[in-house]
Amino acid sequence: MSINRRSFVQGSSAALLAATALGARARASDDNVDADSLEGRLYKTLKIGMVQVPGSLSEKFAAVKAAGYDGIEMDSPGMDVEATKKAIADSGLPVDGTVCSSHWSIRHSSADAEQRAKALEDLKHAIRSTHAVGGHTVLLVVGHGNDGSEQEVWDRSVENIAKAIPLAAELGVYIAFENVWNQFCYDHSGGPDQTAEKYVQYVDVFNSPWIGMQFDIGNHWKYGNIGDWIRALGKRIVKLDIKGFSRAEGRFTRIAEGDIDYLDVRKALREIGYIGWVAAEVGGGNQEELARVATEMDQVLRIKG
């Protein structure tokens, strides 16, 4: 039991140690790589739902590590904390964060007070379980524009989510908002010339270092210049998601396909000094497919070589 406990402590602290090492690597490597590279600045992770590998959770974690990832994101509520601790200890792969699994159906922007209370309960549960396994972010979709006027969605979600900030601060877990197609903070029927201004204002209204963005590089290429959105959000970005998108075809793609301006994305990430995690959010598969996704991340972000 003491060996398992020791292994878990080593594994669950790996994310924090990795972040510290990553910062040192980035500083050391800045003089040795060209300005277009993100080598030494990013750690790759992915969503547990992408892992279509048979076997136990420990075997899935081992496959993810072998495929070239530095961490994994779990879902909460729904995560088995003890099984996840064991998988961390067995594989040496840390959990860097979670996705709040109920945020689409049980929303902080709902007009129903009971649903908002349940959304808050689920968010707090996710924060606690994320902390329990050594993670440091909970990805959250803040609400949906269909729940009322923009001001109503704004006010309800801000009031509700703010109630979780004391717990997030106590446990050291970021509440990380993802920019998604939820018809909020952008014009869903608008063109590709939109800015991140409303996202900036939304994050800032919380006035908390424990609120930030898990910025998805692919989700809003349809609506604006991603590099400029990254520059506008700046230090508010605490984590990244990545997927491909084709404006020409109007659809999501593999990470290395589509027409996202990754050159400008890389420049923008260096300009804001981003150092941290980037999570794949695409269709997954077996270990071979996961390795292919990891290679695409290396390719477009120039993480290696």
Higher confidence at residue 234 or residue 5?
Answer: 234
- Phi/psi of residue 257, nearest 5 degrees: -105, -170
Inform me whether the pLDDT recorded for 159 exceeds 60.
Answer: yes
Range 121-149 average pLDDT: 98
| 287 contacts 66 by C-beta, under 8 angstroms | yes
**CATH 3.20.20.70 for domain 2-301:** no
Residue 144 confidence class, pLDDT cut points 50, 70, 90: very high
Residue 230 confidence class, pLDDT cut points 50, 70, 90: very high
Within 13 Å of residue 206, how many CA atoms lie on the same side as its CB? 30
Closest listed residue to residue 212, CA positions, set 229, 233, 230: 233
C-alpha R_g of the chain: 19
Report the interhelical angle of 2-12 vs 81-91 (nearest 10°): 90
pLDDT of residue 34: 59
Using a 10 angstrom Cβ sphere, with 0-12 exposed, 13-18 middle and 19 or more buried, the burial of residue 264 is middle
pLDDT of residue 188: 97
Inform me whether the pLDDT recorded for 16 exceeds 60.
Answer: no
∠ Cα 11 278 124 (to 5°): 65
Inform me whether the pLDDT recorded for 8 exceeds 50.
Answer: no
CA distances 295 to 20, 34, 103, 253, 298, Å, are 24, 20, 30, 15, 5
Residue 261 confidence class, pLDDT cut points 50, 70, 90: very high
| 298 contacts 41 by C-beta, under 8 angstroms | no
- Provide the β-strand partners of residue 45: 279
Inform me whether the pLDDT recorded for 287 exceeds 70.
Answer: yes
Spell out the alpha helix ranges (H) of 80-196.
Answer: 81-91, 113-132, 150-162, 165-171
Range 167-182 average pLDDT: 98
For residue 181, give every residue at least 6 positions away whose Cβ sits within 8 Å of its Cβ, in sequence order, or none: 188, 219
Residue 36 confidence class, pLDDT cut points 50, 70, 90: confident
Question: Residue 290 is inside which H or E element, if any?
Answer: helix 287-301
Closest listed residue to residue 279, CA positions, set 176, 195, 188: 176
Which tens digit of pLDDT belongs to each residue from 90-118? 999 999 999 999 999 999 999 999 999 99
Give 2's DSSP letter: H
Inform me whether the pLDDT recorded for 15 exceeds 60.
Answer: no
pTM, whole model, 2 decimals? 0.89
pLDDT of residue 153: 98
Range 5-14 average pLDDT: 43
pLDDT of residue 17: 52
Q: Is the CA virtual torsion 61, 129, 105, 240 positive or negative?
A: negative
Inform me whether the pLDDT recorded for 194 exceeds 50.
Answer: yes
Residue 135 confidence class, pLDDT cut points 50, 70, 90: very high
Range 16-37 average pLDDT: 54
CA distances 186 to 126, 145, 206, Å, are 27, 10, 19
Q: Is the CA virtual torsion 6, 7, 13, 17 positive or negative?
A: positive
| 94 contacts 88 by C-beta, under 8 angstroms | yes
